[in-house]
C-alpha cells in the first residue's frame, strides 16, 4: 500500500523508475560487478569469477525479495545484497565485495542514480528553456504594467518577464553541468578511506571501477563520499525549485480576477471547485509553489549530513533515503507542470491594456519628469512638480497628463507636441533589444549543445 504521494501522485514514471527499489538494487549490483571486473584486471581474482559475478549481478538472479529476507535476519542492507549475490554465484561468490566497505557500494550506486536523475532534470530544463524563448520572442513588444511592492510602477513588456526567467533557467543548466564534475563521483577506498583492504593496487582498482561505471573517482574520502557534495546537489535542486516557485507565483498573481492578464490552461472538462462551478483555479501553479516548500526544507538535513562523527556515523543514511528520491521526484513534478503551464499560457490582451491605463496615466510620472529635465528644468524641481501633479491626479481621480497640461510651470517647458509621445506603450525603453540579446545568447548556447551532441 502506497503511503508517500511520490508513490502514486507526484513525479513521472521515468523518474520513479530510477528510485524504485528494484533499480536501486540493480545499481548496487552494477557496482559490485564493476568491482569484480577491476579485481580481475589487476590480477586479484580469476577472470572467470569476474565474468560469473558480472553475469549474476542482475535482478533477474538476485531477487529483491531474497535480499529483504536476508536483511530481516542480519539487519544490514549491503551485506544482504552481498550474501544474495554470493548465493547465485556459487563457488565464485567468495570474491564478491572483496576489499569494499558498504559505502563504497552505496555512494557509488547513489552517483549512478543521481546521474540518471540529473539527465531527466536537464532534459526538462532545456525543454522549458525552449518554451520560454518562444514566449519571449512572441511578446517582446507586448507592453504591460510593471509592478514593484505590488503597486503599479512603469511599463515593461511580457517579453522581459519571460526573458528574465529564460536567463535564470539557463543558469540552472550551467550550474548542473558545472556541478556534475564534483557530484558524479564514486569511491572504492575501504573502511576509512585508506584503501588498506585493497593493498598496493587500491588506486588502480578504484580508477578501473569508476571508468567502468562512467564516474570520476573521489580524490579522497573516509568511509563515505563527503556530504558537502550531496548538500550542493540538494541546494542546486532547491534553487531550481525557487525559480519555478517564482514563475508560478507570478502566474497566480496575474491570474487573479482583478488582474487576469494571463491564465494557466484550463481544460474543457476541468472542475475548479466542488461548490463553485465558475472557478478557474491556478492549481498547477499552486502545486508548484507548494512542493517548492518541501524541497526547501530538504536543504537543512542535507547540510546537517555533512558534519558526522570522526570518519563517519550513520546519521546521514536514513535521511538520504528520504531526501534524495523525494527532492528529485518533487522537482520532476514541478518541472513537468511548469512546462504545461507555460506552453498553454492564455493571454487576455484587453485586460493587459486596461491595467496599463488603470491609474489614469499616473505611471507616466517618471517620463513626464524626464521630459521636463530634457527641456531645461532641474531634476529635483521636476520631481517635486510632477509629485504634486501626481498627488492631485490621484485624489481627484483625473488623468495625470491632463492635469500636467493645466499646470502653468509645466507649460513653461512643454507644448502640446511634447505631450503626444507620453503614452505607456511608448515607455518600454530598450526592452525589445534587451530581450533579443537574451534570445541570441540562448540560441548560441543551443547551437553549441547541438554540435556537441
φ/ψ of residue 272, rounded to 5: -90, -30
Q: What angle do CA 158, 345, 261 make, to 5 degrees?
A: 55
**Continuous segment of H or E residues that includes residue 153:** strand 151-157
Task: Return the closest-CA partner of residue 280 out of 354, 353, 330, 344.
Answer: 344
SS3 content of the chain, % helix, strand, coil (to 5): 70, 5, 25
Spatial contact of 351 and 261, defined as CB atoms under 8 Å apart? yes
Burial (Cβ within 10 Å: 0-12, 13-18, ≥19) of residue 34 = buried
The DSSP output letter for 148 is: E
Q: Which three cell numbers stand for residue 71?
A: 536483511
Q: Which of 76, 141, 273, 318 is labelled catalytic?
A: 273
Question: Is-catalytic flag, 139?
Answer: no
152 assigned to active site: no
User: For residue 162, with 0-12 CB atoms within 10 Å meaning exposed, 13-18 middle and 19 or more buried, which class applies?
Assistant: buried
CB atoms within 10 A of CB 221: 26
Q: Three cell numbers at 2?
A: 502506497
Distances (CA, A) of 187 to 192, 219, 250, 443: 11, 9, 44, 38
Pairing outcome for strands 262-263 and 216-217: unpaired
Report residue 327: phi and psi, to 5°. -65, -45
Choosing from 75, 149, 278, 310, the catalytic residue is 149
Rounded Cα distance, 431 and 113, in Å: 42
Give the long-range contacts of residues 10-16, CB within 8 A, separation 24 or more.
10/291, 10/329, 10/330, 10/332, 10/333, 11/328, 11/329, 11/330, 11/332, 11/333, 12/120, 12/332, 12/333, 12/336, 14/120, 14/332, 15/117, 15/120, 15/328, 15/329, 15/332, 16/329
Catalytically active residues are: 149, 273
Amino acid at each position: 500500500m502506497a503511503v508517500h504521494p511520490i508513490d502514486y501522485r507526484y513525479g513521472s514514471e521515468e523518474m520513479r523508475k530510477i528510485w524504485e527499489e528494484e533499480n536501486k538494487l540493480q545499481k548496487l549490483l552494477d557496482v559490485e560487478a564493476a568491482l569484480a571486473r577491476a579485481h580481475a584486471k589487476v590480477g586479484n581474482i580469476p577472470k572467470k569469477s569476474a565474468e560469473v559475478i558480472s553475469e549474476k549481478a542482475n535482478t533477474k538472479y538476485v531477487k529483491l525479495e531474497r535480499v529483504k529476507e536476508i536483511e530481516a535476519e542480519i539487519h544490514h542492507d549491503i551485506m544482504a545484497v552481498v550474501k544474495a549475490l554470493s548465493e547465485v554465484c556459487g563457488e565464485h561468490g567468495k570474491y564478491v565485495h572483496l576489499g569494499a566497505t558498504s559505502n563504497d557500494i552505496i555512494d557509488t550506486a547513489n552517483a549512478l542514480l543521481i546521474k540518471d536523475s540529473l539527465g531527466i532534470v536537464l532534459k526538462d530544463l532545456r525543454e522549458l528553456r525552449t518554451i520560454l524563448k518562444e514566449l519571449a520572442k512572441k511578446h517582446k513588444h507586448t507592453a504591460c504594467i510593471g509592478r514593484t511592492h505590488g503597486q503599479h510602477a512603469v511599463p515593461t513588456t511580457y517579453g522581459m518577464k519571460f526573458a528574465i526567467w529564460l536567463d535564470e533557467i539557463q543558469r540552472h543548466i550551467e550550474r548542473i553541468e558545472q556541478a556534475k564534475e564534483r557530484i558524479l563521483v564514486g569511491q572504492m577506498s575501504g573502511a576509512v578511506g585508506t584503501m588498506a583492504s585493497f593493498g598496493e593496487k587500491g588506486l588502480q582498482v578504484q580508477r578501473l571501477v569508476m571508468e567502468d561505471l562512467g564516474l570520476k573517482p573521489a580524490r579522497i574520502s573516509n568511509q563515505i563520499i563527503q556530504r558537502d557534495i550531496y548538500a550542493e546537489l540538494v541546494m542546486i535542486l532547491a534553487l531550481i525549485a525557487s525559480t519555478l516557485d517564482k514563475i508560478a507565483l507570478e502566474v497566480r498573481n496575474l491570474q487573479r480576477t482583478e488582474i487576469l492578464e494571463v491564465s494557466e490552461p484550463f481544460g474543457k472538462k476541468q472542475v475548479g471547485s466542488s461548490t463553485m462551478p465558475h472557478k478557474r483555479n491556478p492549481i498547477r501553479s499552486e502545486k508548484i509553489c507548494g512542493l517548492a516548500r518541501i524541497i526547501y526544507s530538504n536543504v537543512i538535513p542535507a547540510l546537517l549530513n555533512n558534519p558526522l562523527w570522526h570518519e563517519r556515523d550513520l546519521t546521514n543514511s536514513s535521511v538520504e533515503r528520504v531526501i534524495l528520491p523525494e527532492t528529485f521526484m518533487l522537482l520532476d513534478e514541478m518541472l513537468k507542470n511548469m512546462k504545461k503551464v507555460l506552453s498553454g499560457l492564455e493571454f487576455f490582451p484587453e485586460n493587459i491594456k486596461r491595467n496599463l491605463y488603470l491609474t489614469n496615466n499616473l505611471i507616466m510620472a517618471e517620463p513626464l519628469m524626464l521630459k521636463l529635465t530634457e527641456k531645461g528644468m532641474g531634476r529635483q524641481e521636476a520631481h517635486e512638480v510632477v509629485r504634486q501633479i501626481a498627488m492631485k491626479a490621484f485624489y481627484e481621480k483625473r488623468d495625470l497628463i491632463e492635469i500636467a497640461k493645466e499646470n502653468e510651470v509645466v507649460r513653461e517647458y512643454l507644448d502640446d507636441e511634447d505631450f503626444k509621445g507620453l503614452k505607456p506603450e511608448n515607455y518600454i525603453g530598450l526592452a525589445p533589444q534587451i530581450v533579443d540579446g537574451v534570445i541570441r545568447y540562448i540560441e548560441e548556447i543551443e547551437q553549441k549543445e547541438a554540435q556537441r551532441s
